Structure 1
């Protein structure tokens, strides 16, 4: 189970993992594939997924969620629900 974070903690986690992923993407642009088997030396997609998961939580907690249609809210809730087992699997 993912432990709930305070908003500033969630923002820090999201920024940290997104920055790590961005750095690896930039390294790939400069240097190419990490090896013959792997494009990246770090897990880019997983880190971006984690950043997205926490960003959704942050946005969902504010007034911005009030501006979304019910359909958009449902889509975002489905995305978060799909990310949760992935994130939980990474944490274990």
Structure 2
């Protein structure tokens, strides 16, 4: 049982590193939004693994709150998101210069 919990925790850490890379690298705001949603989902999974390991159910409300905040946050950001091609560029800059 401990081996499986350690293995699943290691996979969660690896997935978090990959998602963090996508969050930093981009290339657009929608990719960053998906990366943030993925990191929140991985936090929920990590808390669930911790709950299984410690057999302490007091963390379950925090899992529910994180799931609710992740859902409402991603819906609201998606609703009010401005597409990347509509963001104004600095005067005299081309699209390639502004993205780097």
Q: TM-score, normalised by structure 2?
A: 0.45
More helix, by proportion: 2
Q: TM-score, normalised by structure 1?
A: 0.47
Structure with more contact order per residue of length (Cα contacts < 8 Å, sep ≥ 6):
1
